[in-house]
Amino acid sequence: MSARATAAIAAHASAVLASAVLATAVLAAAVPGLAAAQVSVPDVSQPAIRVEQSNVAGERTYVVEPGDTLWSIAEGLYDEPWYWPSLWSYNPQITNPHLIYAGDLLYLSRKPPQGIAQKALTFAGSRYEGVKSAPTELARRVGYITSRDYRESGTIEASREERNMLGTLDEVYVRFLMRRCREATDKAKADDAADSRDGEIVSLDKNPAEPEVFSGPCVRDADRFTFYRVEREVVHPLTGKVVGFKINFLGEGKVLATARPLATVLLTRAYSEISRGDLVTNVFEPLQLVKPVPNKVELVGTIVDFHHETTAAGAWHYVYIDKGADDNVARGNRFEIMWRGDGLRRAQVKDLRDFPDEQIGIAMVVEAYDRHSLAVMTHSVREIERGMPAVMAKGF
């Protein structure tokens, strides 16, 4: 910069300062008492941007001056103009970041909600400590069927309608693997059957000449069923055995007639297209409230699989555990998912028995099948993997 330009700038600054002092003197003469007050004169040696400290809530604030933009304010305060979006986020009262006006009050940090006291961060205990809360969960009955129910499922062989894709109010012809129910000729004998259950009649007379009274499940008019399609097998990670099947629910139906070997079933509700070859099983409740129930026995099971196609599970994921009703597992029982080892180099640990057990999750049973259970993860502090032990402690 030339000496002439430097001298011009200095002369201009002196003129501005002299004008400010002259204006202050004239105003003091016009307003009595003002001359005694302290007059603030801008100091050209101070930064152009001044930050004020709020004496109410302690937030750092800034008053917009003529010519300011969020870009220039961010550059002056933080030496980073690209910080302006964060500065804008702290001030929701600014609807357009390109329009700010002199006199506007800007918050330089996120303002805490009114009426909410800020809590100090405290450290107490470990995140691996057992959770003792017992919440009631609205669980979803996800698509799964046991191997036994799969073997006993019926099959759609034909339809009344002249098309392949079937839907609501269409009629299909189903071949059930269970026989149809018949009225017993001797009603008293049926009433006295000690093992009678809804949908099946157990005969006390072993004479095969009476086909009206027989043992085993049966299907009858007005019964309701669920239509489904198999997606893939659920295989135990340790034994390699198939324990069940992941399925896709297709719809619901009501039996109209069982006079022939092929029963007539009305599709009362279709969630997806239904075709010949799709399977039929018992009705599933899509949603149900599950309350925690104290465990009556102590068991050690294994995480078999996850319902969703993922390599690891967490809170609110559905998992399959290889313990069920035959092991005295009931709906509402809770399993603790256990883990031990080095979180960084677990594969290099020589003897896991040297490490303590850590509870990394809790799974509450949604449905207990014969030999395994469907459970929802209500708590987890790290990822859950297939093959991890699931412990059901008595009284928990």
The CB density around residue 363, as the number of other CB atoms within 10 Å, is 29
DSSP annotation string for 288-299? EEE-----SS-E
CA-wise closest residue to 380 among 360, 363, 359: 360
What's the alpha-carbon Rg for the chain, to the nearest Å?
38
* Maximum distance among all Cα pairs of the chain, rounded to whole angstroms: 127
What DSSP designation does 43 have? -
**Alpha carbon distances (Å) from 117 to 57, 112, 114, 120:** 11, 8, 8, 10
Tokens of 379: 């708590």
Instruction: Label the pairing between strands 179-180 and 218-219.
Output: parallel
For 110: left if phi > 0, alpha if psi spans -120 to 50, otherwise beta; the answer is beta
CA 201, CA 187: separation in Å to the nearest integer?
11
Tokens of 338: 């256990």
**235 pairs with which residues across the strands?**
242
CA 50, CA 15: separation in Å to the nearest integer?
23
Tokens of 210: 């009476």
Q: Which helix (H) or strand (E) holds 234?
A: strand 224-235
Per-residue pLDDT of the chain (396 residues; tens, 9 = 90+): 555 545 554 555 555 445 544 444 444 444 444 444 444 455 555 555 554 444 444 567 888 888 899 999 888 887 888 888 888 888 888 888 888 888 888 888 776 555 555 555 555 566 666 555 556 765 555 677 888 888 888 999 999 999 899 999 999 999 988 776 764 333 434 454 544 444 443 433 434 443 443 344 688 888 999 999 998 888 888 888 888 888 888 889 999 998 888 999 999 988 888 999 999 988 766 667 788 899 999 999 999 998 888 889 988 888 999 999 999 999 999 999 998 888 777 777 788 888 888 899 999 998 888 888 889 898 888 899 999 999 999 988
DSSP annotation string for 139-189? EE--SEEEHHHHHT-EEEEEESSSSSSB-TT-EEEEE-SSEEP---S-HHH
Scan for tokens 């008492």, then name that residue: 33
Q: What is the model's pLDDT at position 7?
A: 53
- Let me know: does 107 contact 59? Beta carbons within 8 Å: yes
CA 106, CA 62: separation in Å to the nearest integer?
5
Instruction: Label the pairing between strands 137-140 and 144-146.
Output: unpaired
- Let me know: does 233 contact 145? Beta carbons within 8 Å: no
Calculate the CA 273 to chain-centre distance: 28
CA 42, CA 53: separation in Å to the nearest integer?
19
**Alpha carbon distances (Å) from 37 to 18, 24, 31, 166:** 19, 11, 11, 91
Tokens of 49: 């941007």
Tokens of 296: 């009556």
- Let me know: does 383 contact 313? Beta carbons within 8 Å: yes
Sign of CA dihedral 159, 160, 166, 168: negative
- Let me know: does 283 contact 251? Beta carbons within 8 Å: no
Tokens of 105: 């009050």
Tell me, yes or no, if the pTM score tops 0.75.
no
- Let me know: does 264 contact 250? Beta carbons within 8 Å: no
Torsion angle of the four alpha carbons 76, 79, 80, 85, in this order, in degrees rounded to the nearest 10: -40
